[in-house]
Amino acid sequence: MKVLYPGSFDPLTYGHLDLVQRASERFGDVIIAILDNPTKVPTFSIERRIQQINSSISNLQGIRVISYRGLTVQCAKKYKVDLILRGLRAMSDFEYELQIAHTNRTLDNSIETIFLATESHHSFLSSSVVKEVALFGGKVDHMVPPIVATDLYQINNKNK
């Protein structure tokens, strides 16, 4: 079974990796799809995020990283996936993610979405929280893989 895990991954967190690993164990073939959203200014380029993710998943099998523009359902169709994977941290995530899942079904009812809850010790993690902690000089090593932490520290040292 092939699963598409879409997101910005800006930056990749241990919560994201938790879901990738568990999806890989359950479904085998996982495509991590980085949304290239022209309405947002990312911290890291698409190319750098691909490098960060590939470095962080090098010990896992059956996973590939792509980037895409446009609708997630179009990406899912292009790569012939069986399911779209979305992560949940808290009840507030569920409301938003359910809305997205329903919207995707109205666009293409052949595409199903599944939800996985992150492990509880990752439930506080979000990319925006990680970026804010790093911006103000806090440690993020326990929140993100080493390559991402290094990149965040380098960016924030340049901005001082």
Q: One of 26, 40, 78, 121 is an active-site residue; which one? A: 40
Q: Is 127 a catalytic residue?
A: yes
Q: One of 24, 56, 86, 89 is an active-site residue; which one? A: 89
Q: Write out the two tokens for 12.
A: 């990749």
Q: Which residue has the tokens 């924030």?
A: 156
Q: Is 40 a catalytic residue?
A: yes
CB atoms within 10 A of CB 41: 7
Q: One of 16, 49, 86, 122 is an active-site residue; which one? A: 16
Q: Do 63 and 37 form a contact (C-beta atoms < 8 A)?
A: no
Q: Is 89 a catalytic residue?
A: yes
Count of all residues that appear for the chain in the document:
160
DSSP state of 81: -
Sequence-distant (≥ 6) Cβ neighbours of residue 109 within 8 angstroms? none
CB atoms within 10 A of CB 75: 21
Q: Is 142 a catalytic residue?
A: no
Q: One of 24, 122, 127, 131 is an active-site residue; which one? A: 127
| Residues forming the active site | 16, 40, 89, 127
